[in-house]
Chains A and B, each alone.
Chain A
Amino acid sequence: MASIEIANARKSYGAVDVLHGINLNISDGEFIVLVGPSGCGKSTLLRMIAGLEDITSGDISIAGDVINDLQPKDRDIAMVFQSYALYPHMSVAENMSYALKLRKTAKDKIADAIGNVADILGLSALLERRPKALSGGQRQRVAMGRAIVRKPQAFLFDEPLSNLDARLREQMRTEIRKLHHRLGATSVYVTHDQIEAMTMADRIVAMHDGIIQQVGSPVEIYDRPANIFVASFIGSPAMNFLEGAYETTADNGDQGAGIRLSDGSLVPVLPAQGASTNQPVTLGARPEHITIVQDAANGLPARVDLIEPMGLSTLVHATLAGKPIKIFTMDRPDYAVDSFIHVAFDMEKVHVFDSSSELRLPPLTEPHTGHSD
């Protein structure tokens, strides 16, 4: 097991810059999830760590040694591909033992290792099968097994679960986490599924357009997103955004603040760092931080567009100040479409974003923390 350091790594294809200076330190045994929309460069970064893609500039080190110019075979890492990439002309056992054979591991040791891993992954009955005689979930397990038997310095995963159905994906998610606890191996996991990111990561690395937007624990990323991109990408249903102008208010001598929406209504917020009066800002509120109130005096009027029951909860789609918003509630509301309700924002939980830089302006009361790593 080993740490991985990425220092100012860049990648260009000809004139096209795909990664713009990535800096990231992954500690020994950490489970890092790279998340971001399609085309943001997650796979490219992973493949640069694996040695399948040249590094245009910058350094990548594993266990303190710069490995920029090492061939993939000399980096001692294992990778699980989205397509699984099982060798079709070899049995499950041969697939899993291939790397060990290349290392001239003794036959009995290979047999032990395979038996062991097959037990862990429930593959013991399938060892003689060819990949084409396996289901998708079984192939996925073999791909995992092929990586695990090697006991590599680090594991790389490129969307390993995206070809599985929802139920199996959920199950494998838990299993991969359990395996990680058991093996304690440094892992870099690429996904564009934010639920996988939230549930699996020690730390999430949120990427967009080849730039790291934020690095932090899942809770940090969810509760204190660095900017509008991270706020909108993480969380489902997604955060609501309403544009307005920042205002400071004085109430009984207490310093207060609010955001004036386009329809003239004022949403109270905590005073934000570096925000000045009339500055264009964006209010960010997660669906669960908006409540439906009975008392019209305490809320802003919103028109109901759609009621979406989700089992555990209900999602109310409404229009506020001309913008669609989503409200999460544990009640079973039965509002008629086009009727009016009143909503209130949880002042402690909503976010203020600068509209031009899109950065979050944290409340004055929040201890200052550096965002990016």
Chain B
Amino acid sequence: MTLTGHTTTRKMLYWGSHYLMIAAFVLFALFPLYWLLKVSVTPNDILYTEGVRMWPSRTTWENYTFVLTQSNFPHYFMNSVIVAGTTAAVTTVIAALTGYAFSRFAFRGKVIIVALMLITQMFPLVMLIAPIFKILAPLGLTDSLTGLIIVYTAFNVPFATFLMQSFFDGIPKDLEEAAMIDGNTRFEAFRAIILPLTLPGVAATLGFVFTAAWSELLFALMLVSSESASTFPVGLLSFVSKFSVDFGQMMAAGVLALIPACLFFLLIQRYLVQGLTAGAVKG
């Protein structure tokens, strides 16, 4: 009896500390977001006067109405949706095809291509801004959403490819071989058998690239100068004027900018948690 009592206490202690640690981590990760929300609903006049409080004594939507109706923010927001959405789609298609080839085929130059793709990931982006500007300017691709999409796609393809490859590696190649014997060409087998099983991977890749493109600031700032082609991270900077920073409005815009990312992950989370390949082979 004492023995079981003892082990139960230990078990509870174990799980207790387990959950405590998870809770601490979640708190740590979400606190900045909470602060963002808090500042965005704090009226300007009490932002500095109230000191540090967990929740303001009065709340207001005025920052939101200003951002949505008086500023250029809705326009930046649309630009960002176009750029991040297209980048995510194009990158994922390229990465899926390349990742599949890396996973399944042995071909000449494979090692070199992989090495080159890894090397592109080693340079600090700042180094590349000038040359990229030089390349894009004569093509008329600076100050344009298309230019941004091309640059973002180029920078995200290597990592996305390796990500997709690891998902394909997890799917036994017996499956498409069975499909090929059943009457598919390799491409048909890829589309009908392998792709549906890689949906979690596709979702993860889409999510990763979308968020990366959504929050990218450096290139958006350097390659785009006009208002009409600005994305929202650049737009956020416009709340910083020479003399002051409009924190309330900036935070309201920030909260709004979180919405598409949240929606996106809500849509794909079903695929992220699903282990679709279970039962494919023995086990």
Question: Which residues of A are interface residues toward B (Cβ below 8 A)?
Answer: 50-52, 71-73, 75, 77-79, 81, 83-89, 98-99, 102-103, 130-134, 136, 139, 146, 150, 163
Contact = CB atoms under 8 A, between A and B. Distances in A.
B279 A81 contact: no
Interface of B: 172, 174-175, 177-185, 193, 196-197, 276-282
B197 A77 contact: no
Given A73-B181, A88-B197, A83 B174 contact: yes
A88 B181 contact: no
A340 B76 CA distance: 97
Contacts of A146: 178, 182
A131 B280 contact: yes
B178 A79 contact: yes
A73 B183 contact: yes
A98 B196 CA distance: 15
A50 B174 CA distance: 13
Contact of A133 (B178, B185, B279): B279
6 contacts: A79-B178, A86-B178, A131-B279, A132-B278, A132-B279, A139-B282
Contact of B185 (A50, A73, A77, A134): A73
B32 to A, nearest CB: 40
Given A89-B196, A89-B276, A84 B282 contact: yes
A86 B184 CA distance: 15
B280 A72 contact: no
A143 to B, nearest CB: 9
A364 B178 CA distance: 50
Given A87-B175, A132-B278, 18 more contacts: A52-B177, A71-B180, A73-B181, A73-B182, A73-B183, A73-B184, A83-B281, A85-B280, A87-B178, A87-B193, A98-B182, A102-B182, A102-B183, A102-B184, A132-B279, A132-B280, A134-B279, A136-B282
B279 A130 contact: yes
B175 A85 contact: yes
Contacts of B277: 88
Contacts of A77: 181
